[in-house]
Amino acid sequence: MRLIRALIAMCVGLVVLLAAALFLLPTQRIATLAAQQFEAATGRTLEFGGDVTPSFYPVIGATAQNVSIGNPDWAGAGPMLDAGEMDIGLNLAALIRGDIEISRVVIQNPRLHLIRDREGRANWDFTRAGTPTDAVPTEARARNVSLAEARIIGGTARIEDAQSGRELRLSGLDATLRMPALTGPAELRAAGRMNGQPFEVSATTDNAERFLSGAVTQVMLDTTAAGASITFAGRIGLEALALEGQLAANIPALRPLMQLVGEVGGDLDAAYLPLGLNGQVTRTADGRLFAREAQFRAGGIRLSGAADLAPGSERPRLTGQFTGDVLDLRAASGASAGETATSEGWSRAPIDASALGALDADISITLNGLRTDLTTLGRTRLGLTIDRARAVVDLREVALFGGQLGGEFVMNNRSGLSVGGNLRFRGVELLPLLTEMAEYRRLQGQANLDLQFLGVGNSLHAIMQSLRGDGRIDFSQGEIIGFDLAGMLRNLDMSYMGERNRTVYDRITGTFAISDGVLRNSDLRLEASSFSVTGEGAVGLGARNLDYRVVPAAVRGDDTFRVPLMITGPWSEPRFRLDLEALAREQMRAEQERLEEIAREEARRLEERARSQVEQRLERELGVTRDEGESVQDTIRRGVEQEIGNRLQRLLGGGN
């Protein structure tokens, strides 16, 4: 860094001048010569507002009061650096040999003002036009330059960067630099507060000159800042802020760290803290970050894999492939899924989805399991895409209670939070699924389910109240726990209820539609060995209640007996009652059908009796007998024809 090299040049120039004219010139004249030497090397003014006091053998040096270094013209008025006192000492014996061994540099209460404008000009860049960038006083080109110790005591700094819009403020800065040789190792230790947050830094490099010039150099760094701890071992190039090496970071809270570096925000749900990273990290000159063979931690989340983070005009973009064991995404309080709902309904706690807007992402994740506030998943393969605060989870392979879950789940926080999805359940065990998701323990069996849904709101309560969508169900080989429908039908007795009672079914099918948090169905069909059930009604997904009517049909003797049953009330304690009005209507309909059948039978008997009487009278009066299968009309016609024939014969004198 050119600022440090310029300060070394100033120290060397000042002390050499003191050595050359210790007994010949007054100290003020010596100070003036040192200032002229510094300005010739850097193009900046150097002023001594107080006394300059020399020191003697074996360490030759000087103590200067009220030292200041000026700014370039474009940086405005005021000094870049001013210090209450600067104490400098050189090894006289080494100086006689031609080497420069700085025994000490102590700067008391310095105030530093660093500026970078929109064009990228920096007031700490001491390069002058037409002057080589590595220009230093002749004395600095000696065979060996070393710095036994340089200290800053009680320093403050203000750093303004117009390009990034950041402003950093340092206070209480205490720092120590040791550099046995300019071309050898160096060690820096510093502590203070930046933007109100405490920090401590310990850094070493194997080549101070390369590091200060901005070239890529081997560095070891150990930092604690704003409660976070960061260690790094690898290579760093200050010129382009490039690095490559092994990084270990632990961040208990993100907001203080963001404040330290001059950024706002960083509020993160406690469930995802602390943050941690351990792995091989690379940062390129254009600001891209790469992590390989890395371990990532966010609260209870543990993942390993590789990730790339690229800067963007609005948000950074993260791509990566991760694997993990069982991932726990439950709330920070450790609440189980059941605590998402209480006896009063779904949780009204606000859902903070602001993290969706922090970055864009395209991530693949493979897990041995996944725990959420709603349910627990087995082996899981997911694809996660985030674009402008809209996240889409592609469920490529999800093991769920003995079956599989597929489809996609969407969470959108662009203009208020909404959640939706297109889900497919195949062969899922219903009892553990409904127990975890809704504390509903009354349905057992295997489920095939197709579901499309959308909900809007900033709490689970609001989302469930606004749900809309549609789907279909196909449950096989299970039980409805809490009542024995077959027993109720056989005995017309509603006492067949309680945890020990079961309604065994072979299959349940139906379709449904969801609107405003209410699921409605009109074609439910349950098939069992001794009865069947049809049903229609509403299930309050938001209100967690039931208003449903089922019509069981059972065979009793030669008759099919139907008993309408109403299921109402909350999910936790549903009420069952016979639909007596419907049952009365059913009995009236059956009685009406019976009476109509009796009337039809009586009409048939009367018709047969009348027909028999007509036939007997015809036989008497016409003297004919009705042949089998012959109609009455044909018999009458035959009798009339026979009577007419007989009379004609008598008229003509033939016969009797």
* Predicted confidence (pLDDT) at residue 167 exceeds the cutoff of 90: no
- pLDDT-wise least confident of 10-19, 145-154, 476-485: 10-19
- For residue 77, the model assigns a pLDDT of 81
- For residue 131, the model assigns a pLDDT of 45
**Listed residues 165, 182, 199: the one ending a domain:** 182
Q: CA dihedral in degrees (382, 388, 390, 396; nearest 10)?
A: -20
- Residue 72's pLDDT band (boundaries 50, 70, 90)? confident
Distance between CA 189 and CA 520 in Å, rounded?
70
- For residue 128, the model assigns a pLDDT of 47
- For residue 448, the model assigns a pLDDT of 93
- pLDDT-wise least confident of 124-138, 389-403, 614-628: 124-138
Looking from the CA of 376 toward its CB, the CA atoms found within 13 Å total: 13
- Residue 319's pLDDT band (boundaries 50, 70, 90)? very high
- For residue 232, the model assigns a pLDDT of 96
- Residue 316's pLDDT band (boundaries 50, 70, 90)? very high
Q: Is residue 108 part of a domain?
A: yes
Domain count for the chain, please give it. 2
- For residue 337, the model assigns a pLDDT of 40
* Predicted confidence (pLDDT) at residue 496 exceeds the cutoff of 90: no
Q: Is residue 218 part of a domain?
A: no
- Residue 140's pLDDT band (boundaries 50, 70, 90)? very low
Distance between CA 85 and CA 69 in Å, rounded?
13
* Predicted confidence (pLDDT) at residue 656 exceeds the cutoff of 60: no
Could you tell me if 526 and 505 are in contact, meaning their C-beta atoms sit under 8 angstroms apart?
yes
Quick: pLDDT tens for 358-374. Answer: 899 999 999 988 777 66
Q: Is residue 261 part of a domain?
A: no
Q: Is residue 142 part of a domain?
A: yes
Helix (H, G, I), strand (E, B) or coil at 131: coil
- pLDDT-wise least confident of 153-162, 320-329, 345-354, 628-637: 628-637
Quick: pLDDT tens for 417-470. Answer: 999 999 999 998 888 877 777 677 778 888 899 999 999 999 999 999 999 999
**pLDDT average, residue stretch 623-628:** 64
Q: What is the mean pLDDT of the chain?
A: 81
- For residue 545, the model assigns a pLDDT of 92
Quick: pLDDT tens for 515-540. Answer: 999 999 999 998 888 778 899 999 99
Could you tell me if 466 and 527 are in contact, meaning their C-beta atoms sit under 8 angstroms apart?
no
- For residue 64, the model assigns a pLDDT of 84
* Predicted confidence (pLDDT) at residue 13 exceeds the cutoff of 90: no
- For residue 23, the model assigns a pLDDT of 44
- For residue 136, the model assigns a pLDDT of 43
Q: Tell me whether strands 317-328 and 79-91 are parallel, antiparallel or unpaired.
A: unpaired
Q: What angle do CA 503, 508, 511 make, to 5 degrees?
A: 140
**Listed residues 130, 147, 182: the one ending a domain:** 182
Distance between CA 238 and CA 232 in Å, rounded?
15
User: Which structural domain, as residue segments, surrounds residue 108?
Assistant: 1-182
Q: Is residue 260 part of a domain?
A: no
Whole-number percent of the chain with pLDDT over 90: 33
Helix (H, G, I), strand (E, B) or coil at 583: helix
Contacts of 481 (CB under 8 A, 6+ apart): 441, 442, 443, 444, 499, 501, 502
- For residue 37, the model assigns a pLDDT of 65
- For residue 432, the model assigns a pLDDT of 81
**pLDDT average, residue stretch 247-252:** 94
* Predicted confidence (pLDDT) at residue 191 exceeds the cutoff of 50: yes
- For residue 29, the model assigns a pLDDT of 63
Distance between CA 292 and CA 275 in Å, rounded?
17
Whole-number percent of the chain with pLDDT over 70: 75
Q: Is residue 304 part of a domain?
A: no
- For residue 336, the model assigns a pLDDT of 43
- Residue 559's pLDDT band (boundaries 50, 70, 90)? low
Surface-to-core class of residue 484, CB atoms within 10 Å of its CB (0-12 exposed, 13-18 middle, 19+ buried): buried
Surface-to-core class of residue 151, CB atoms within 10 Å of its CB (0-12 exposed, 13-18 middle, 19+ buried): middle
DSSP string, 87-115: EEEEEHHHHHHT-EEEEEEEEES-EEEEE
Residue with tokens 């069947």: 532
* Predicted confidence (pLDDT) at residue 610 exceeds the cutoff of 70: yes
* Predicted confidence (pLDDT) at residue 34 exceeds the cutoff of 50: yes
Of 170 and 654, the one with more pLDDT: 170
Q: What angle do CA 254, 258, 261 make, to 5 degrees?
A: 145
- Residue 401's pLDDT band (boundaries 50, 70, 90)? confident
Q: Is residue 221 part of a domain?
A: no
* Predicted confidence (pLDDT) at residue 627 exceeds the cutoff of 80: no
Q: Is residue 316 part of a domain?
A: no
Distance between CA 303 and CA 300 in Å, rounded?
10
**Listed residues 149, 182, 215: the one ending a domain:** 182
Strands (E) in 162-312, as ranges, are: 166-179, 186-194, 197-205, 217-225, 228-237, 242-251, 275-283, 289-298, 301-310
Helix (H, G, I), strand (E, B) or coil at 646: helix
